[in-house]
C-alpha cells in the first residue's frame, strides 16, 4: 500500500486547494526497486489528475 493521501481544502472563501503526498518521497526509506517504480508511476498519475483539475477550472472561466 502506498501512502497516496490527497488533501482537498478551502484555503479561503471559494479558493480550493488540492494537494497530494509525493509517493516517491514517502517510499525513500524502503529499499524496494519494484515499489519505487510503482511510486514513480503513481506520482505521474497524481500530478496529471491535479493538473487536470486546474485545467478544468480554467476552461470554465473560474480562475
The whole-model pTM stands at: 0.72
Mean pLDDT per segment of 10 residues, for the chain of length 63 residues?
80 88 86 91 92 75 59
Distances (CA, A) of 54 to 1, 38, 46: 27, 25, 13
Task: State residue 43's pLDDT score.
Answer: 92
| C-alpha grid cell, residue 3 | 501512502
Amino acid at each position: 500500500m502506498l501512502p497516496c493521501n490527497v488533501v482537498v481544502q478551502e484555503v479561503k472563501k471559494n479558493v480550493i486547494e488540492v494537494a497530494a503526498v509525493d509517493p516517491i518521497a514517502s517510499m525513500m526509506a524502503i529499499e524496494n526497486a519494484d515499489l519505487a517504480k510503482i511510486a514513480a508511476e503513481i506520482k505521474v498519475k497524481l500530478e496529471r489528475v491535479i493538473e487536470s483539475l486546474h485545467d478544468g477550472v480554467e476552461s470554465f472561466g473560474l480562475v
